[in-house]
């Protein structure tokens, strides 16, 4: 059962990571240039949101199934923090784009700060993947791991 | 040299033993492997959903493939390399593991499916490039592709649960713990978490 839920969780991560990747590549001008920014977010925004919901559901099931393995780790809580950061940035971006579509299309995406944000948010989601895998190896944090103290 | 000697010599390479000896190299390889496969699966799913007429239907198929597949191959290369490095650490066990064998077979089938698509409906893509509806053969290839790649994810995750010698560190830390240690005096019925 646990491996099945983990596998669904990984498939969900595939959709989250790819959706963020495609939107970020569009901002950076590295993919999807035949599409407007709005077309790109309309294509991938809902997939990002719904797969995050699926990850939350499978994630909660895994925590219920193995509360100690998940909760008594640095990796888990760091991961939750970065998931919150990534989700918040995505929500703010999608809202800002909705409110000023033309401005983003013409000017805002060309700003260096926005391109930097695109790279940073992708790195945040990559770090989420690493921390997710590290839950199984929390002892590599040494004394930082709460399990170390027990 | 027979196959078991080949596998042994792979395990005895410097690279294999330094991964085994390191506390964090194997987990890092796994993490990068997950990043790679996440992007391989996700980008292939974008193309498959277009073929099925379920998403991106307004977008010409050929501009999507030229736009996206280069990233798929980049991610696949990363996934392949990290997978190969993990394989070296315990080649004999992986090689004889039925789940690993099944995963390799499914990857091969995914490649064959792609090849068949290229030789059949892929050849006529000019005709349906801008159309939301695609030939039945293309839709079939897309369904097969999605099923195979999802299977790859499941089989891959299962390998970690069937090759215990591979990563003795995995799942090891919490095994000495149970809920009673965390909440002394709580329920006395054993709630020791399952190791896997």
Band the pLDDT of A150: cuts 50, 70, 90.
low
Q: What is d(CA A38, CA B49) in angstroms, rounded to the nearest whole number?
A: 20
Cross-chain Cβ contact A21/B42 below 8 Å: yes
* Among B42, B68, B150, beta carbon nearest to A31: B68
Rounded to the nearest 5 degrees, what angle is found at the Cα of A96, between the Cα atoms of A94 and A102? 105
Cross-chain Cβ contact A10/B177 below 8 Å: no
Q: Which of residues 67-86 of B touch A (CB under 8 A)?
A: 67-68, 71
Q: Bigger pLDDT: B115 or B188? A: B115
pLDDT at residue B160, rounded to an integer: 87
Probe site for chain A from B23, B28, B33, B35 (most A CB atoms < 10 A): B35
Highest mean pLDDT among A30-34, A105-109, A126-130: A126-130
pLDDT at residue A131, rounded to an integer: 95
* Closest B-chain CA to A139: B173
Q: What is d(CA B161, CA B48) in angstroms, rounded to the nearest whole number?
A: 30
Q: Which residues of B touch A139 (CB under 8 A)?
A: 169, 172-173
* Among B41, B171, B179, beta carbon nearest to A11: B41
Cross-chain Cβ contact A17/B42 below 8 Å: yes
Output the average pLDDT for chain B.
86
* Closest A-chain CA to B70: A31
What is the arithmetic mean of pLDDT over B165-186? Answer: 49
Q: What is d(CA A91, CA A37) in angstroms, rounded to the nearest whole number?
A: 15
Q: CA of B17 to nearest chain A CA: how many angstroms apart? A: 18
Token look-up 């996440």 returns B38
Band the pLDDT of B192: cuts 50, 70, 90.
very low
Band the pLDDT of B182: cuts 50, 70, 90.
low
pLDDT of B191 strictly over 50: no
What is the arithmetic mean of pLDDT over B57-68? Answer: 92
Band the pLDDT of B187: cuts 50, 70, 90.
very low
Q: Which of residues 11-70 of B touch A (CB under 8 A)?
A: 23-24, 27-28, 30-31, 34-35, 37-43, 45-46, 55-56, 58-60, 63, 67-68
The model's pLDDT over B121-173, given as tens digits with 9 standing for 90+, comes to 888 888 888 888 888 999 999 999 999 999 999 999 999 888 864 444 444 44
Q: CA of A125 to nearest chain B CA: how many angstroms apart? A: 9
pLDDT of B11 strictly over 80: yes
Q: CA of B1 to nearest chain A CA: how many angstroms apart? A: 37
What is the arithmetic mean of pLDDT over B5-25? Answer: 93
Output the average pLDDT for chain A.
93
Q: Is B61 exposed, middle or buried (0-12, 13-18, 19+ CB in 10 A)?
A: buried
What is the arithmetic mean of pLDDT over A118-122? Answer: 96
Q: Bigger pLDDT: B84 or B180? A: B84
Q: What is d(CA A46, CA A105) in angstroms, rounded to the nearest whole number?
A: 20
pLDDT at residue A23, rounded to an integer: 96
Q: Which residues of A touch B60 (CB under 8 A)?
A: 34
Q: Bigger pLDDT: A147 or A99? A: A99
pLDDT at residue B164, rounded to an integer: 60
What is the arithmetic mean of pLDDT over B60-65? Answer: 92
Residue % of chain B over a pLDDT of 90: 69
pLDDT at residue B196, rounded to an integer: 42
Q: Bigger pLDDT: B191 or B74? A: B74
Band the pLDDT of B193: cuts 50, 70, 90.
very low
**A65-76 as b/e: b if 16+ CB within 10 A:** ebebbbebbbbb
pLDDT of B176 strictly over 70: no
Query: How many angstroms from the chain centroid is the CA of residue B194?
Result: 24
Probe site for chain B from A4, A7, A43 (most B CB atoms < 10 A): A7
pLDDT of B195 strictly over 50: no
Would you call A111 helix, strand, or coil by DSSP?
coil
pLDDT at residue B156, rounded to an integer: 94
Cross-chain Cβ contact B182/A72 below 8 Å: yes
Q: How many CB atoms lie within 10 A of CB A20?
A: 22
Would you call A19 helix, strand, or coil by DSSP?
helix
SS in 3 state form for chain B?
CCHHHHHHHHHCCHHHHHHHHCCCHHHHHHHHHHHHHHHHHHHHHHHHHHHCCCCCCCCCHHHHHHHHHHHHHHHHHHHHHHHHHHHHHCHHHHHHCHHHHHHHHHHHHHHHHHHHHHHCHHHHHHHHCCCCCCCHHHHHHHHHHHHHHHHHHHHHHHHHHHCCCCCCCCCCHHHHCCHHHHCCCCCCCCCCCCCC
The model's pLDDT over A81-109, given as tens digits with 9 standing for 90+, comes to 999 999 999 999 999 999 998 999 889 98
């Amino acid at each position: 059962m646990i491996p099945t839920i983990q596998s669904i969780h990984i498939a969900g991560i595939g959709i989250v990571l790819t959706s963020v990747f495609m939107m970020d590549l569009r901002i950076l001008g590295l993919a999807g240039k035949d599409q407007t920014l709005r077309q790109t977010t309309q294509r991938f925004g809902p997939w990002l949101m719904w797969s995050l919901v699926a990850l939350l559901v499978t994630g909660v099931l895994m925590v219920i199934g193995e509360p100690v393995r998940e909760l008594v780790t640095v990796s888990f809580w760091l991961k939750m923090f970065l998931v919150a950061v990534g989700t918040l940035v995505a929500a703010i971006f999608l809202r800002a784009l909705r409110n000023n579509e033309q401005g983003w299309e013409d000017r805002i995406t060309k700003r260096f700060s926005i391109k930097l944000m695109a790279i940073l948010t992708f790195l945040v989601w990559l770090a989420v993947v690493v921390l997710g895998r590290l839950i199984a190896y929390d002892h590599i944090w040494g004394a930082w791991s709460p399990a170390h103290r027990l | 040299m027979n196959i078991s000697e080949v596998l042994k010599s792979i395990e005895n390479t410097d690279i294999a033993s330094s991964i085994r000896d390191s506390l964090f190299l194997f987990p890092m390889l796994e993490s990068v492997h997950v990043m790679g496969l996440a992007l391989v699966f996700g980008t292939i799913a974008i193309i498959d959903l277009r073929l099925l007429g379920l998403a991106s239907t307004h977008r010409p198929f050929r501009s999507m493939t030229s736009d996206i597949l280069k990233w798929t191959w980049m991610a696949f290369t990363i996934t392949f390399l990290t997978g190969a490095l993990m394989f070296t650490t315990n080649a004999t066990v992986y090689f004889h593991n039925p789940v690993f064998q099944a995963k390799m077979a499914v990857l091969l089938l995914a490649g064959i499916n792609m090849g068949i698509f290229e030789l059949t409906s892929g050849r006529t893509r000019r005709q349906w490039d801008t159309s939301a509806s695609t030939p039945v053969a293309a839709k079939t290839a897309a369904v097969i592709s999605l099923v195979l790649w999802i299977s790859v994810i499941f089989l891959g995750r299962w390998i970690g649960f069937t090759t215990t010698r591979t990563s003795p560190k995995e799942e090891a830390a919490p095994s000495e713990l149970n809920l009673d240690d965390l909440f002394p005096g709580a329920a006395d019925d054993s709630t020791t978490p399952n190791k896997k």
